[in-house]
Amino acid sequence: MLKVENLDVWFGDPPDRVHAVQGATFSVAAGESYGLVGESGSGKSTILRAITGLASGWSGRIEVGGEVVSGGHRSRNFHRSVQMVFQDPYASLHPRHSVDRVLSETLRLQGMDGIDGRITRLLEAVGLGQGFRFRYPHQLSGGQRQRVAIARALAAEPRLLLLDEPTSALDVSVQAEILNLLSDLRRERGLTYVMVSHDLAVVAHMCDRLAVMRSGQIVEEMEAASLRSGRVGTPYAGELLAASSSYRREAG
């Protein structure tokens, strides 16, 4: 479904050029869920942005569903099959557009018909009733907003969803609801996920395989099961695992 080969992403011009991603290579099969973990600045979100064409300077090869993309331009077909959900649902929803407008605009842009019926079905799919249809973002809780953002991503009937820290702005109880929703949607619709998160437990719960990133490079690829059992291949992955699983008081 997704093949990334030798991806380099940079920002700025020399001599101040920053190489955010260097030589990243991974592939994700259709129906699989793949995680990218690492600390802030490790380049995990930048990979998603390069895939969707939001990062202008990149080289390497990105293939989505058999289609090789180039530069910052993406075809109509690409936007139909790939959608992204961002971390902060408040920042990613227009504050003065109602849920109805957000969804109908997206559907119209995708050239869909029967928009009214589709909105009803989308809201149902993400567990929001019709009562939410004419609300504005400020009238929704964080979890409800993220549900709207997911509904918007689903509007195009994509096959690949790029999830950039979809629950890190939410309370743990709401996080559980959203993660369950994402699991259900993947099963029902046969979706492929690439999920970026700093939370190893969330990635282990959601993904089959994952890549550990550090300063722009993928240092290790592993199965979620290996992460759970602590069978990691590189010292850095081990450190990350130890640091995130516990805080230990100094002896004495």
Partner 1 sequence: MTAPLLSIRDLRVAFPTRQGVFEAVRGVSFDLGRERLGVVGESGSGKSMTGRAILGLVRPPGKVTAARMELHGESILNLPERRMRALRGARISMIMQDPKFSLNPVMTVGQQIMEAYRLHSGQGGRMARDKAMEMLNAVQIRDPERVFHAYPHEVSGGMGQRIMIAMMLAPDPEILIADEPTSALDVSVRNEVLRIMDRLVAERGMGLIFISHDLNLVAQFCDRVLIMYAGRVVEEIAARDLHQARHPYTRGLLDSLPRLDHPVSRLSVLERQPSWRDEEIATPFPGGL
Give the interface with partner 1 as residue ranges (CB under 8 A).
39-40, 142, 171-177, 179-180, 183, 198-202, 204-206, 227-228, 239-240, 243-250
Amino acid identity, position 99: V
Residues paired with 26 in a beta bridge: 4
Least separation in angstroms between residue 246's CB and partner 1 is 6
Rounded CA gap, 143 and 155, in Å? Answer: 18
- Which of residues 40 and 188 has its CB atom nearest to partner 1 in the complex? 40
Least separation in angstroms between residue 23's CB and partner 1 is 23
- Which of residues 151 and 170 has its CB atom nearest to partner 1 in the complex? 170
Least separation in angstroms between residue 58's CB and partner 1 is 25
Angle 211-70-152 from CA coordinates, rounded to 5°: 70
Least separation in angstroms between residue 243's CB and partner 1 is 4
- Which of residues 29 and 242 has its CB atom nearest to partner 1 in the complex? 242
Least separation in angstroms between residue 239's CB and partner 1 is 7
- Which of residues 102 and 178 has its CB atom nearest to partner 1 in the complex? 178
- Which of residues 96 and 248 has its CB atom nearest to partner 1 in the complex? 248
- Cα 34 to Cα 9, 14, 21, 57, 61: the distances in Å are 20, 33, 18, 24, 18
